Amino acid sequence: MISLTETFVCTFSEKYPECVIEENYDLAAHTTMRVGGKAAVAVFPETAEQLCAAVEICAFRGIRHAVLGHASNVVCSDEGYDGVIIRTEKLCGISVYEDEIVAECGASLNALARAALNAGLTGAEFLYGIPGSVGGACYMNAGAYGGQISDVLLSVTAYNSVTNTVKEYAAEECNFGYRQSIFHDNDSLTVLSCRLRLCKGDREAIGAKMDELISARKEKQPLEYPSAGSFFKRCEGHFTAKLIDDCGLKGTRVGGAMISEKHAGFLINYDNASCADVMALSELVRSVVKEKYGLDIEREVEYLE
């Protein structure tokens, strides 16, 4: 009997024979945490039409699927993923129109920030150094150093797999909050692109600010180790990393996973960690913080199983 993922491969490749499809896809090799098993299939659409088609086929046929950009905020199960991974990295176009920028979902936030710099536009500097994609940033309202992408967004264009339609959502329709959006809360929506409005600025000052933020990241974050970035959400009224630090947990290890000694909010792949190591360490952190402070901290990182 043909499997659902084989059905996807046959259906999609018949319509888009030029599109790359990879079977037995190594998740550990292609996520920033460097853990996880194999996915049955990965597909690499090159256009919004192909991305919508990949999602539509999966939704219509009941095939498990996950859309990943740079896979920088995800931890994948050691058992792998019995479904289709849809990678958006080839949808990386960025266009500048006076004080507006339109970026496709697979464009890196670094590339977006550099495009703004090159155009002499300020307001996107905080995105520089966030190791994610535009789609992921809209999905979780990514931010750093006092800014979040919703601060500069005009609209987000997304595909709805239930209605099989594409719609441009004004920023006020996106229900943005702290690490939250309608795209995060609704599995039927897939981000295709976004439109930002920035302000004219001085290129030298913009570049200096970006250099300052990168230097701060290198100084304060364990960029030399694989990680998924800040592992936990900010706890209301508290800095979660400080809570973890005050619990004396820096340097704590489970298997090959460790709480960074440089930044307690980072769980790092210190020594060939498994996903099980990472998740067990995250639960240890949550239980210790709960016991000491009575606070429930939540993962920011998505878990794919």
> Domains of the chain by range and CATH?
4-87 (3.30.43.10), 94-205 (3.30.465.10), 222-304 (3.90.78.10)
What's the whole-number mean pLDDT along residues 29-47?
A: 98
Q: What is the pTM of this model?
A: 0.95
Catalytic-role residue among 34, 87, 179, 195: 179
106-142 in b/e form (b: 16+ CB < 10 A) is bbbbbbbbbbbbebbbbbbbbbbbbbbbbbbbbbbbb
Per the DSSP assignment, residues forming a β-bridge with 166 are: 159
pLDDT bracket for residue 19 (50, 70, 90): very high
Is 179 known to be catalytic? yes
Is 230 known to be catalytic? yes
Catalytic-role residue among 133, 161, 181, 230: 230
Question: For the segment 75-112, what is each residue's pLDDT rounded down to a tens digit?
Answer: 999 999 999 999 999 999 999 999 999 999 999 999 99
pLDDT bracket for residue 1 (50, 70, 90): low
Q: 138 pLDDT exceeds 90?
A: yes
Question: For the segment 250-271, what is each residue's pLDDT rounded down to a tens digit?
Answer: 999 999 999 999 999 999 999 9
Decide: 240 and 197 in contact? Cβ < 8 Å: no
What's the whole-number mean pLDDT along residues 188-208?
A: 97
Residue 273 exposed, middle or buried by CB count within 10 Å (0-12, 13-18, 19+): buried
